[in-house]
Structure 1
Amino acid sequence: MVAQKLEQLKVLFAEMDRALIAYSGGIDSTLVAKVAYDVLGDRALAVTANSPSLMPEDLEDARIQAATIGIAHEVVQTHELDNPNYASNPVNRCYFCKSELHDTLRPLALERGYPYVVDGVNADDLGDYRPGIQAAKERGARSPLAEIGITKLEVRQISQFLGLPWWDKPAQPCLSSRFPYGEEITLEKLHRVGRAERYLRDLGLRNLRVRSAGETARIEIPAEDIKDFVADHDLNALVNAFQGYGFTYVTLDLEGFRSGKLNQDLPLVKA
């Protein structure tokens, strides 16, 4: 089944002939970039949007992965934080983020002669609350993984089949996703969350989030890792570091890490 879907993905790109990939460096868009390059060669271009909500090390990962694949790679600046509709952090914040992204990529694609802009949306994403998908569709973007029905698990399976060393890379959504809806997002807040997550990454943690609510940092790590985390690390040093970044309180979420946790209240918001 995985091999069949990979072949379908190749056929899809062959039919496109030329494509610009909205490339974040995450495992989904990296697989799209890999297959596009394998099929199209220099008729494929990967473009990463750099903004304050992208951690510098994630941008560096995107550069390294693109170089490993061989695909041409460019970086453009986006300015979603300048839009009050985004910075106010409404429940459809991602709509304004993806609007900014594709309003930047579409003219670039047309200027360079790429008839298609494609992204890394997978089939599982269609079942989640993703207002950004609508913004991309309105601007003519295509989602090859979703079109073929490739799930997140299959993205990892295909990536491993292709020998991509980052096939098990944890999901790393933008830093703006760390804030509860309705709390304003500022450059200062993004920086302190980014520094806090970098601190935890340097401790060797992979699956993690630092949720930011007011002056409180709430650390999420897998539930099975909590006991060892508390036993093995200097918590006083961690608290001092986080307070140095600007947080007043530092807490540990005993439920453990769960992707998309801040979306759990959305049914109440929508009602």
Structure 2
Amino acid sequence: MKANPKIEKVKQILKDYKKIALAFSAGADSTLLAYLAKESDCDVLAITYDNQIFPEGFLEFAKRRADELGIKHEIIENSFLMIYDVAHNTPQRCLTCRRLMYGSIKQVANERGYDIIIDGNNITDLIHDRPGILMKYANGIESPLIDANLESYEIHDFLEENDIEYSKSTTCLATRVKANETVTEDKVNRIDYCEGFIKSTIGADVVKLREEKNIATIELGNNDSKKILDKEKLEIIFNELKEAQYDKILLNIDFTEDEEELILDSELQKGKENLILRKKLPFDIEISKTGKVINEADNEFISDIQTIEEIGYIKLKIDKKESKIFRDGKISIENNKNKEDAKESLVKILPLIRRAKPF
């Protein structure tokens, strides 16, 4: 097995836990944890939560992979389309979903004698607008991939290099519907069918179909973008989606992979001597709670912490670099030698930041 220090750190964390319940979707992150837990001789119980808004085949794939990995597996089923925040697609949707999901997983795990529950959140997840992460903290869920500073691309690289199969379609289909537009069973089924049709037509691994006011926008990964740029295939897809009663079909040709990058080149500015990182997270930060978490953290790399709540920022030193965290999601870290140096400091503070609730 090809490994790296971060992978070895995850394995050591799992060995220390020994007995764990794993929130298991069979996606990249949870598959890696299941694989490493098995490698580390842990007693692991994989728990899959089926909210019945996942792509077709999601549950069957999770069952098969758990069996192939040789781990115990339980399934919790609950239709979230009956829940107000999900059906009405409110800003609280993901928060409500994760609250119910983690709460149920925690209950089953504790009933089976598993006190430690882990999930597949990784360090890259902390720079995206994922309010459900608040429920991870509320329920005391551990995230070994965050503790090991593993980035999303590193996880995918490891799985590919070691030929470890995982599902590339584990995103809740409610996320495809524009915020505040009603999510219905018919919409979910139509999106699921159309995504599957496009996948089979062009041989794509990942297809996301965004729906807004009955307009379908097709999104593809970089590796699949060229596959759809064929007149005959486009016509087949267009006709099928028109039959599915979409008024208009669009193709998003933004092929960037910026969301995999912890730091963009544009976020680094030249200072008097070294580089200054100026990053803007896509959410507000709860300054008082973040200040408390930072102060209580056992982190030798962070010092001189001052929380100025009335103004809305925290002043501190990360790796002896002057740094600030602002209520509106801005982070600044000074005196970085290069991009990698800035990243090393950023990952030390990201797990300690607590985002504000999205309402």
Classify the TM-score, shorter chain: 0.7 to 0.9
C-alpha spacing 1:218/1:257, structure 2 compared with 1 (3 Å): farther
C-alpha spacing 1:196/1:103, structure 2 compared with 1 (3 Å): same
Kindly, what percent of the aligned residue pairs are identical? 25
Between stretches 203-212 and 236-245, larger displacement belongs to 236-245
Normalized per residue, the structure richer in helix is 1
Q: Per-residue deviation at 1:157?
A: 3.1
TM-score w.r.t. length of structure 2: 0.66
Distance 1:244 1:217 in 2: 12
2:45 is aligned with 1:38: no
State the structure with bigger RCO (CA 8 A, min sep 6), 1 or 2. Answer: 1
CA contact (8 A) 1:52 1:187 kept: no
Counterpart AA for 1:194 = D
C-alpha spacing 1:149/1:89, structure 2 compared with 1 (3 Å): same
C-alpha spacing 1:77/1:160, structure 2 compared with 1 (3 Å): same
CA contact (8 A) 1:208 1:257 kept: no
Q: Which residue number corresponds to residue 109 of structure 1?
A: 109
Q: Which residue number corresponds to residue 200 of structure 2?
A: 202
CA contact (8 A) 2:55 2:171 kept: no
Distance 2:141 2:224 in 1: 39
Q: Which residue number corresponds to residue 76 of structure 1?
A: 76
Equivalent residue pairs, number: 264
Q: Which residue number corresponds to residue 60 of structure 2?
A: 60
2:212 is aligned with 1:213: yes
Report 1:1-271 matches (<5 A).
3-41=4-42, 43-160=43-160, 162-166=162-166, 170=168, 172-203=170-201, 204-222=203-221, 229-256=228-255
CA contact (8 A) 1:27 1:171 kept: no
Distance 2:44 2:139 in 1: 19
Consecutive unaligned residues in structure 2, runs of 5 or more: 260-280, 285-327, 329-357
Normalized per residue, the structure richer in strand is 2
Counterpart AA for 1:14 = K
Counterpart AA for 2:211 = S
Structure 2 SS opposite 1:136:
helix
Counterpart AA for 1:29 = S
Higher-Rg member (1/2): 2
Distance 1:137 1:109 in 2: 17
Distance 2:22 2:87 in 1: 26
CA contact (8 A) 1:223 1:254 kept: no
Consecutive unaligned residues in structure 1, runs of 5 or more: none
